[in-house]
Amino acid sequence: MAFSPIPTAKSFGSDFLWGVVTAAAQNEGAVYTDGRTPSVWDTFAKRTGKIKGSAKPTHACDFYHRYKEDLLMVKALGFKVFRFSLSWSRILPDGTGRINKEGIRFYNEVIDECLKLDLIPFVTLYHWDLPQSLEKEGGWTSYKILNWFTRFTTVCAEAFGDRVKNWIILNEPMAFTSLGYMLGKHAPGKMGMKNFLPAVHHAVLAQADGGRIIRSLVKGANIGTSFSCSEINPYTDKTEDVKAAHRMDILMNRLFIEPSLGKGYPRDDFKFLEQLEITNKAWKYTERMRFDFDFIGLQNYFPLTIKHNSIVPVIQASEIKAATRKVPHTAMGWEVNGESFYRIIRRFWKYGSVKQIIVTENGAAYKDELKSSRVHDVQRIEYFKEHLVALYKAKHKGINIGGYFAWTLMDNFEWAEGYKARFGLVHVDHETQLRTIKDSGYWFRDFLNT
């Protein structure tokens, strides 16, 4: 990249937030402990062939029992922010109604431990683990989800809002609606546009409703929501490839943020999305879909190169893999491109009505090997260096970037990848639960001290 060498952490400013991220379903384990009931991921993982290696989140990283030592690692690595999510089915075992006191106790202890260690708790309300009891009633395809989500948000705000001031409403709504309700690759494994479109609409409403609830119940709250995003590039300059890339861009980058900004759904050049208006009468909900977030969380890992593909229904587009194009990529085949990271940040800032951007996830999976109690993950360190150079370039050019959170603290249950994909700064042996800080973790420790 052109904007180098890598800046120091201090050059980002004394108030810049450096954090690390985890999620309940991926880390906590203890899925049948102290009154917690199954989430959609516990159920989905029992289906043959859905998770690599037939992995299950039953034990994950056992954060439920080891949170104190894990938070000490966060502190030791030099991070200021610990972002984590709340397990809906641990707090409300029936999805709504009765409150599980043991679930409230656990998160109170995690929050109090963060504050004891001078870590800022950033809480994600929903990180993909819907209670299975609610999925049986339709899950995100049901309009009732808005009442269920209101109940969950209210309980969490009242229980934790005296100490938690930083809130992220939804984690990557495009990901859980498309992978879980259209493609069937993630929980709950539903497929088809008949599931995807209502799930999208209800998630759009929920992210705004949740923001309003937190605003009303938590004094001094700093409220955001997180969007997955990828720069979309056409494979060629042919008109059909350019249009295919444009359609993909609408889905990947615009579908959730534009309603939150009061712009409604992005239907230009993709008339299929008019079905959102027809099916849900979304024009009635334009104002309800809007919420004035204090920040938006951007979660970026890679750009995509897209070509026209008439075989693919509706979107008529498909990806040209990074390996095929012989460009640098991670173990998951994701292109490594710091300049693209810079451009996607700049693009979201150009909406004009975004107050602040926080990179709430960024990271890479590689084939890490534990040898002689060390993990020499040089490629991951280079990935972070390249992306932090791009981040500084964006901040240097006047974009209000408030923080950067690395995905993830430790190797965890990585959804449909099971335990095969390792993103962590800390290596975890999931048989013994032994934690080993990787070279990338030590690199971050040293960087944050510069």
Domain coordinates of the chain in residue numbers? 10-448
Q: How much is the pLDDT for 5?
A: 74
Q: Is the pLDDT of residue 323 over 50?
A: yes
Q: Where are the alpha helices (DSSP H) in 172-256?
A: 173-181, 193-217, 239-249
Task: Write down the pLDDT at residue 108.
Answer: 99
Residue 280's pLDDT band (boundaries 50, 70, 90)?
low
pLDDT at res. 278: 66
Torsion angles phi and psi, residue 428, rounded to 5: -125, 125
What integer is the mean pLDDT of 270-291?
79
Q: pLDDT of 163-203, one tens digit each?
A: 999 999 999 999 999 999 999 999 999 999 999 999 999 99
Active-site hit among 113, 135, 172, 335: 172
Q: Catalytic residue among 28, 135, 335, 361, which?
A: 361
Task: Please give the pLDDT value at position 6.
Answer: 85
- Per-residue pLDDT band at 440 (split at 50, 70, 90): very high
CATH 3.20.20.80 for the 10-448 domain, yes or no: yes
Residue 350 clears pLDDT 70, i.e. is over it: yes
Alpha carbon distance 115, 162 (integer Å): 12
Q: What is the pLDDT of residue 279?
A: 65
Residue-level pLDDT at 232: 98
- Residue 361 a catalytic site member: yes
Asked whether the predicted pLDDT for residue 112 surpasses 50, the reply is yes
Catalytic residue list contains 28: no
pLDDT at 381: 98
The answer to whether the beta carbons of residues 444 and 409 sit under 8 Å apart is: no
Q: In this structure, are residues 355 and 294 in contact, taking their beta carbons and an 8 Å threshold? A: yes
pLDDT at 284 over 90: no
Instruction: For residue 436, count CB atoms less than 10 angstroms from its CB and return exposed for 0-12, middle for 13-18, buried for 19 or more.
Output: middle
Residue 3 binned pLDDT confidence (cut-offs 50, 70, 90): very low
